[in-house]
Amino acid sequence: MSTAPTRPAGPPRLALRREWVLAAIILAIALAVGLRAPVFLTLRNALDIANDSAILAILVMGQMLVLLTRGVDLSVASNLALTGMLVALLGKAVPALPLPGLIAAALAIGAALGWLNGWLITRFLLPSIVVTLGTMSVYRGAIFVASGGAWVNDQDVHPLIKALPRDTLAGLPMLVWAALAVIAFSVWLLRWRREGRELYAYGGNPHAALYAGIPVRQRLVLAYTLSGALAGLAGLLWVGRYAIAFTELASGFELTVIAACVIGGVSIGGGVGTVGGALLGVLFIGVVNAALPVIQVSPFWQQAIAGAVILVSVALNARSQRSAGRQILEPQERTAAPVTPAHGAAA
């Protein structure tokens, strides 16, 4: 019996068609806005959009891993904020700490917070939405405890933390390079590593994944740990870019992360989604956020438009999954045993 699918589960042709449609929509929006404001179509504006979307892309890569397993991580923004605060305080306390040490600390702290989510979900068989909603509040409270309610301002942020997201390499901002590195890692994991294919397998059919011998608990913990590590990296970059750390940093940003995933075709029902599609979701949000102020749309309408797009995307995802279906074992083998970890936000 095969232990994992040879490629990511899901309907490839349908996913490809959806991604082409989304790319066409993004292009149409850019051209329409460019006709009104030609500066919108310049290379400089494209780099600005990429730079503004880089942190979102990093978080989306982590959230995608969790969504593939039928889970959701609502704590990513709180993880970002807590890790950013702790690394800022570490840099303030140890000014001689080199940049690799700061990056390693951010990854380690974020991974530990993500691991805690995965451990709670698999150890106590709790829904991911409940666990991560709880840790979201816990992590926010921990920021206040760690900082004593004070802000870490520009003059107290380690110079290397501030320099990293503001530097350029070969004409590209370092934020973009960081996002590209994370994207390359995600492609490698999901396409070329057994662990990544097993995430698709579990999300596509949890019962069959158990019968195929997939170590479900380990894979779920891996997904949340990687999501946490990327949130930690995003926290370091966020603090460096804006030169500030405080309790409400990135508050509510987890909804934007989930929105980008869903718009890009990553199913909240698990097992379906591609890195390319998720990136198109990030690009869509980046283009819309850059375009709406140009055409003088109220921020309130921006939120309404984003919400409407999410609803349409969820409806399209559900329709495509009903028509295509997903499985990794024969139908008669799927009904023999219950799934062990009841963690998903959507069954």
262, pLDDT greater than 50: yes
Q: What is the pLDDT of residues 263-310, one digit of tens each?
A: 999 988 889 999 999 999 999 999 988 988 888 777 677 667 767 777
Q: What is the pLDDT of residues 53-96, one digit of tens each?
A: 999 999 999 999 999 999 999 999 999 999 999 999 999 999 99
Report the predicted TM-score, pTM, of the whole model to 2 decimal places: 0.88
Whether 114 is in a domain gets the answer: yes
12, pLDDT greater than 90: no
Number of domains forming the structure of the chain: 1
Whether 140 is in a domain gets the answer: yes
Q: What is the pLDDT of residues 119-172, one digit of tens each?
A: 999 999 999 999 999 999 999 999 999 999 999 999 999 999 999 999 999 989
Where in the sequence is the domain holding 111, given as residue range(s)?
12-326
Spatial contact of 161 and 102, defined as CB atoms under 8 Å apart: yes
- What's the CA gap between 240 and 265, in Å, rounded? 31
The CATH number covering residue 96 comes to 1.10.3470
Over residues 252-258, the mean pLDDT reads 92
* DSSP H helices in 94-205: 99-124, 128-147, 159-163, 174-187, 194-204
Spatial contact of 264 and 277, defined as CB atoms under 8 Å apart: yes
Residue 343: pLDDT band (50, 70, 90) is: low
Tell me the percentage of the chain whose pLDDT exceeds 70. 85
Whether 160 is in a domain gets the answer: yes
More confident residue, 211 or 326: 211
Whether 296 is in a domain gets the answer: yes
